Each structure stands twice: as C-alpha cells, then as structure tokens.
Chain A
C-alpha cells in the first residue's frame, strides 16, 4: 500500500509543470492529461446529448404533442445527432483512451507531436462552443438533422452556419489526432516492438487514424460548400441553379459512413484487450484480428451508397453497394468468433469490464444482423426511414461506443486514477444500463417493421404500446448511467488504492506504476523475441 501511495504522489496526476491548477491541465501537452481532458469534455457533452435523447423519448410517450411541438422535435433530434456523432462517438475512444494508452502500450514517452495533440483538444472545444452558439444565438436552432441534407440546409431560416462551421472544426480536431497516432505508431514503438507485437488496441487506433485522415477532408469540403451555398448561392447543390442535392448526399456519406468505423474499430480494439485479460488467455487469431481490422477500414470506405438506396441511383450502383455492405459483415464476424474463441477454455474472471465486453458482443451482433436487413435492397425499401433504422444504428453506434467505452473505463480505471472502482455498484450500473438499452431500442425494430417513420414527433395510436416500453427503457438507461458515473467519480477520489497490475494484464501499460509517472517509463522498455501483448503461457 505504501508503494501505491507513493506511486500516486509521483504520478502525472500530481506532476508540477509550468502552470498550476486548471491551467496545468488545459495547457498540458502530456498525452495522459489530454486524454483526461477529452474524457471530461466528452462526458459533459454526452450528458447534454443524453438529456436531448430523453426529451425525444418523452415526447414519444404518447401520440400527439406531449411536451414539444414538431418544430422543437426537429431541432432536438438535430442537436442530439450533431452532439452525439461529432462530439462523442467520433472522438470517444480514440481521443480518450487512444491518447492515454497508445504511448503506454507501445513503450513511448508521448505521442509524436504533443503540441499538435493539445491543439486538437482546443479545436474540439472550439467546435463544441461553435455548435452551442448555434443553439443560443440567431434566428433558430438548426433543424436539418445531423446530416445537413441539401437543399434544406441552405434554405432553412435557422442558424446553420455556426453549426456547420463547428462540425468542420471538430473534423479538424479529429484529423490532427489521427495524424498524430499514425506518426507515433510508425516512429515511436519501443525497441523490439515489431508491428506484429503491437496490442490490438494500438492496431485498431492505426486503422481508425487512417480513416480519420482520408475520410474527414471530404466532409470538410462538403460542409464548406454548403456554407458557401448559404452565403453566396454558388449553385453546386441547389437544384434551382442546376446543382444536384444527391451529389451532396454522396459526398456527405463518403465521410459519414467511414465515420461509423472510426468509432467501431477502437471499440473493437478495447474489447480485444479486455477479453484476453479477463480470460487469462492468449487472444485467439491475433493476425486474423489485425487483417479484419484493416479490411473493415478499407471496405468500410466503399459502402457509403447504402444510405441512399431509395434516393435515386442506378441499379448497378445499388447492387455494388449492397454487395460491398455484405462484405463488411465478414471481417466483423471474424472478430466476434475470435473473441468467443478467446474465452473458450480460459479462466474467466467475472469482473465488470468483462460484463461490459460480453454485452458489447451481444448488442454488436444484434446491430450487425439488423444491418444486413438494411443492406439488402429489397428489405431496405420496406424499412427505409423508419424507426428500424434508428434502432439499428443506435445498437451499433451507441451500443458499440457506450458498451466498449464503459468496458474500457472500468478496465483501465486503476491505471488512470491509481484507485479501484467499487465492484458492486459498477455491476448494478451495468445491469441497469444493459436492461435500459435493450428495452429502449428493441421495440423500435418492431415499430419500424410495422411502418412507424423516424423523425416524427407524433405517431398513430397502434404504435403506442411499444413506444411506452421504449420510453421506460430510456429512463432505466439514464439511471444506470447515473449510477456508473457516481460510482466512478466517487471511486476516483476515495477508492481503494490500486497496484500496478491488478488484472494480470500483459500489455506494456501494466508494467508501469498506477497511475503512471509523468514520463511513463523510467527506462525505455525492450521487447524480447518471446514477449508479446497476450503472453499467458
């Protein structure tokens, strides 16, 4: 215990830099502190997004107007979407855990460009404030949906420009993080850490970083074009001037579909770390996992057209996009098989991160299978723009990010804060969140199949029952979230002191004290021929 106490005192949390107090955090270029800055800002924005989501679900508790008018409902789902996509799921795992863990996992003192790393957090904050400015000032809250579809996005009288510019700045932040990670992985691996000795989480960050780098500029220019269309009327997306709104949709989804993989790859990476540790077994199919990661990153780049099957495109294009969509399912399924096989004959330790990881696999599979329903041309037409789609992408995007995020935060909590979380309340939070999640989104599959459209504040009386269940689910989920947050905040201050490797993990971050000292490694670690990230033999 004495040792743990002195590790805490000597850690990055108490490191005295040039500035004291809050300034010592917001001007720190230490990757660990930047990771925590992201953690706190993302959690704050998540609470805002969650409250908006709860408001929408409350509106749908009964047919007709419950608490808001149609116009307010439109604004609510727009802001909910912009916050959740651009401020939470995209930066979520890479910016929080990627920043904190990547240098530790590959045996480096920091990322390659620490100042650019800090700059990227500042861009994030600037983007957040720009979007929030769109809500507070100007003629009205944006009401286009987070997709900013043309031509409505430049016809609507609401305050679109700050929101669009905010999304652009957030994209810049994301690009800088990706750029930093690629260079870090190429140049700063510890001696002996060959590519095929890197932990899976580092690999998935690498795949994600490439998507961030290659997809984000496309949405950047698209948003610039929408903004210019609004200000000057250049005509490129305006049918009145000869422009084509469908072209906007193509350009938008060229980024925004890969964006789903930006968030799911590191989620998969975190799960690939948690499962071997809590099964105390070498990860099954390490190379297959790497190949499937890169395959998802590559094929995921080419499937954007499946968002537009009913928007007007040639039959050939529809077949091609449908086929490619099915192809992505293969590497995703490989990962699921590998996780399950890792557990097989392992000595499983049923701790909270493992519960989160297993339930991640559960929700990911439901989200994945329903994705096939949407990827098939015939069934897509039937459920397009219904609640089914909303349920599907919440299972994948929200389920994928939140379950892996909570798995990760519980797993690495001792490393980050040097204290253990409370196991009992962590499990209570997990089961509430899980039950809430499933009862919130499962009824929406049914509703969508029955024909309830998305993005309406009202519905026909026959959809009432399932909507009540869904709204109840949202309350349970929110309460579960509250339990988790309170437990973690309390544990970060008062929890039992943690040893450097409480779970017997084999990756490099567990070789340094909990929490790590400012410089990470006292001596540069050297990885031997026989060493590996999951060496349990």
Chain B
C-alpha cells in the first residue's frame, strides 16, 4: 500500500508493455534502415569495389555466427514457452544458453575484427588509404559501422537477458507475469533479424 504515495497504481497490462516494445523495435528498424539506405546507395555506385572487398571477409566465421544467433533465437523463444508452463528451471537453463551463445558471438566477432586490424584494415588506416579504391574504403567503413552497431545491440541484449535472469531469480517473473521475458525475447529476435540481413549483404553477395 505504501507504494500508492509514490506512483500511480496502474494495473498490470502485459499488452501495453508488448506494444511499447514493438514500437521500440520499429525505431530500431528505422535506425538500421538509414544504414541500409547508405549501404545500397554505395553498393549501387561501386559494384566492382564492393565485390572485391566482400571477398576479404571470412564467410566461415560469418556463417558460424549466423547459426549461433539463430539457435539463440530459438532458445529464447523456447524459454517463453517454458515460463508459460511455469517451468522456472527450464526457463533459467534456456535463458542461460541464450546468454552463452550471445557471448560466443561477440568472441567470434572480436577475433574477426582483430584479424582485420592486423591486416591494416580499419577506418582511417594509412594502408587502406594507399592500397584500396574509394569503393573498398566505403565498404569497410560501412562494414565496421554496421557490424559494430549490431554488436552494440548484442551487448544491450546481453544486459536485458541478464536483467531477466535476475528478476526470474527474485521471482518477479513467473507464469502469470512474464512481460519482461517476452520483451527481451522480442528484442533478441530483432538483433537476430538484423544480422540475417547483414550477413548476406557483407559476406555472401558478390
């Protein structure tokens, strides 16, 4: 009861928080939408250079990361089903797996970027400026910005899933009230979906 003095007592409305999350996802799509516009304009202007630069990327690591994200999307979706059946233990395990997969994704990304840096490929590098064409420089500029921004979203996702795990432990999330878990899931699917577009655009299309 003491809570009524601090804030309005709004009834719990899972639908409202889900709509809120969807609206937030729209903003994320438009954020990346801006990047995809920039990408398509420069791809259209420099088809040759984008082709050459794309071959420099390691398709194997990219494919592994794609599989990792797809599986993690599946495990977080399964955790929502588990909480609906009020199986807290299974929910915990599935969320834990999602978290580990997210971290593995970032570790792979670290090695991928690291090997690029070792070859002198990073924005503003003298080696790039002297050996690459303008189109290739643009390709790698976009590659680092877009995958970097995506990695930032993975970090936010990790924070969200951790928060969900904590609330699960505190029993604030249970079979009757699991909007945070569902919203973390929605967000995680978005992060996955963006990668599903980034992977072919940078690694596969030649």
Whole-angstrom distance between the alpha carbons of A241 and B32 in the complex? 22
Closest Cβ of chain A to B156, distance in Å, is: 13
On whether the beta carbons of B15 and A233 are closer than 8 Å, the reply is: no
Closest Cβ of chain A to B143, distance in Å, is: 10
Using CB atoms, name the residue of chain B closest to A232: B123
On whether the beta carbons of A182 and B19 are closer than 8 Å, the reply is: yes
Instruction: State whether the Cβ of A68 lies closer than 8 Å to any Cβ in chain B.
Output: no
Instruction: State whether the Cβ of A236 lies closer than 8 Å to any Cβ in chain B.
Output: yes
**A interface, over-half SS:** helix
- Number of B residues, CB within 8 Å of A: 42
Instruction: State whether the Cβ of A218 lies closer than 8 Å to any Cβ in chain B.
Output: yes
Q: Tell me the B1-38 residues at the A interface (CB within 8 Å).
A: 5-10, 13, 15-17, 19-20, 23-24, 26-28, 30-35, 37-38
Instruction: State whether the Cβ of A530 lies closer than 8 Å to any Cβ in chain B.
Output: no
Closest Cβ of chain A to B137, distance in Å, is: 5
Do A242 and B7 contact each other (CB < 8 Å), given the known contacts A218-B34, A235-B123? no
Using CB atoms, name the residue of chain B closest to A18: B6
Q: A-facing mask of B121-135, CB < 8 A → 1, else 0?
A: 011100000000111
Instruction: State whether the Cβ of A310 lies closer than 8 Å to any Cβ in chain B.
Output: no
Instruction: State whether the Cβ of A217 lies closer than 8 Å to any Cβ in chain B.
Output: yes
Among B6, B32, B45, B135, chain A packs the most CB atoms within 10 A around the CB of B6
On whether the beta carbons of A183 and B23 are closer than 8 Å, the reply is: yes
Q: Tell me the A450-467 residues at the B interface (CB within 8 Å).
A: none
Closest Cβ of chain A to B56, distance in Å, is: 16
Instruction: State whether the Cβ of A346 lies closer than 8 Å to any Cβ in chain B.
Output: no
Residues from chain B with Cβ under 8 Å of A518 in the complex: 8
Q: Tell me the A495-537 residues at the B interface (CB within 8 Å).
A: 518-519
Residues from chain A with Cβ under 8 Å of B31 in the complex: 217-218, 220-221
On whether the beta carbons of A234 and B123 are closer than 8 Å, the reply is: yes
Instruction: State whether the Cβ of A16 lies closer than 8 Å to any Cβ in chain B.
Output: yes
Whole-angstrom distance between the alpha carbons of A23 and B45 in the complex? 55
On whether the beta carbons of A236 and B8 are closer than 8 Å, the reply is: no
Instruction: State whether the Cβ of A110 lies closer than 8 Å to any Cβ in chain B.
Output: yes
Instruction: State whether the Cβ of A85 lies closer than 8 Å to any Cβ in chain B.
Output: no
Do A217 and B6 contact each other (CB < 8 Å), given the known contacts A235-B141, A241-B141, A247-B41? no
On whether the beta carbons of A244 and B20 are closer than 8 Å, the reply is: no
On whether the beta carbons of A225 and B145 are closer than 8 Å, the reply is: yes
Do A213 and B5 contact each other (CB < 8 Å), given the known contacts A183-B20, A228-B145, A241-B134? no
Instruction: State whether the Cβ of A187 lies closer than 8 Å to any Cβ in chain B.
Output: yes
Partner of A214, one of B17, B30, B137, B142: B30
Whole-angstrom distance between the alpha carbons of A346 and B24 in the complex? 44
Instruction: State whether the Cβ of B144 lies closer than 8 Å to any Cβ in chain A.
Output: yes
On whether the beta carbons of B23 and A179 are closer than 8 Å, the reply is: yes
Instruction: State whether the Cβ of A175 lies closer than 8 Å to any Cβ in chain B.
Output: yes
Residues from chain A with Cβ under 8 Å of B199 in the complex: none
On whether the beta carbons of B137 and A114 are closer than 8 Å, the reply is: no
Query: Total A-B pairs in contact (CB under 8 Å)?
Result: 123
Instruction: State whether the Cβ of B180 lies closer than 8 Å to any Cβ in chain A.
Output: no
- Number of A residues, CB within 8 Å of B: 46
On whether the beta carbons of A251 and B123 are closer than 8 Å, the reply is: no
On whether the beta carbons of A242 and B137 are closer than 8 Å, the reply is: yes
On whether the beta carbons of A183 and B16 are closer than 8 Å, the reply is: yes
Whole-angstrom distance between the alpha carbons of A335 and B50 in the complex? 50
Whole-angstrom distance between the alpha carbons of A218 and B38 in the complex? 11
Whole-angstrom distance between the alpha carbons of A233 and B17 in the complex? 39
Residues from chain A with Cβ under 8 Å of B42 in the complex: 236, 242-243
Closest Cβ of chain B to A67, distance in Å, is: 40
Closest Cβ of chain A to B122, distance in Å, is: 8
**B interface, over-half SS:** helix
Instruction: State whether the Cβ of A216 lies closer than 8 Å to any Cβ in chain B.
Output: yes
Residues from chain A with Cβ under 8 Å of B95 in the complex: none
Residues from chain B with Cβ under 8 Å of A319 in the complex: none
Residues from chain B with Cβ under 8 Å of A186 in the complex: 16, 19
Q: Tell me the A221-245 residues at the B interface (CB within 8 Å).
A: 221-222, 224-225, 228, 232-236, 241-244
Whole-angstrom distance between the alpha carbons of A40 and B32 in the complex? 35
Using CB atoms, name the residue of chain A closest to B33: A218
Whole-angstrom distance between the alpha carbons of A330 and B20 in the complex? 33
Instruction: State whether the Cβ of A112 lies closer than 8 Å to any Cβ in chain B.
Output: yes
Whole-angstrom distance between the alpha carbons of A302 and B74 in the complex? 38
On whether the beta carbons of A251 and B38 are closer than 8 Å, the reply is: yes
Q: B-facing mask of A76-115, CB < 8 A → 1, else 0?
A: 0000000000000000000000000000000001101111
On whether the beta carbons of A187 and B38 are closer than 8 Å, the reply is: no
Instruction: State whether the Cβ of A273 lies closer than 8 Å to any Cβ in chain B.
Output: no
Residues from chain A with Cβ under 8 Å of B7 in the complex: 29-30, 110, 114-115
Q: B-facing mask of A50-74, CB < 8 A → 1, else 0?
A: 0000000000000000000000000
Partner of B5, one of A16, A187, A214: A16
On whether the beta carbons of B123 and A242 are closer than 8 Å, the reply is: no
Among B15, B19, B46, chain A packs the most CB atoms within 10 A around the CB of B19
Using CB atoms, name the residue of chain B closest to A115: B7
On whether the beta carbons of A109 and B124 are closer than 8 Å, the reply is: no
On whether the beta carbons of A187 and B23 are closer than 8 Å, the reply is: no
Whole-angstrom distance between the alpha carbons of A458 and B86 in the complex? 73
Instruction: State whether the Cβ of A138 lies closer than 8 Å to any Cβ in chain B.
Output: no
Instruction: State whether the Cβ of A157 lies closer than 8 Å to any Cβ in chain B.
Output: no
Q: B-facing mask of A373-407, CB < 8 A → 1, else 0?
A: 00000000000000000000000000000000000
Using CB atoms, name the residue of chain B closest to A242: B134
Instruction: State whether the Cβ of B138 lies closer than 8 Å to any Cβ in chain A.
Output: yes
Whole-angstrom distance between the alpha carbons of A315 and B156 in the complex? 44
Instruction: State whether the Cβ of A139 lies closer than 8 Å to any Cβ in chain B.
Output: no
Using CB atoms, name the residue of chain B closest to A218: B34
On whether the beta carbons of B16 and A225 are closer than 8 Å, the reply is: no
Q: Tell me the A160-216 residues at the B interface (CB within 8 Å).
A: 175, 179-180, 182-183, 186-188, 213-216
Do A175 and B27 contact each other (CB < 8 Å), given the known contacts A113-B20, A242-B134? yes
Given A109-B10, A183-B23, A188-B16, 9 other A-B contacts at CB below 8 A? A109-B8, A109-B9, A182-B19, A183-B16, A221-B35, A228-B123, A232-B123, A244-B45, A518-B8
12 A–B contacts, CB within 8 A, in A order: A29-B6, A29-B7, A109-B9, A112-B10, A179-B27, A213-B23, A225-B38, A234-B124, A242-B46, A242-B135, A244-B45, A519-B8
Residues of B within 8 A of A (CB): 5-10, 13, 15-17, 19-20, 23-24, 26-28, 30-35, 37-38, 41-42, 45-46, 122-124, 133-135, 137-138, 141-142, 144-145, 149
Residues of A within 8 A of B (CB): 16-18, 29-30, 109-110, 112-116, 175, 179-180, 182-183, 186-188, 213-218, 220-222, 224-225, 228, 232-236, 241-244, 247, 251, 254, 518-519
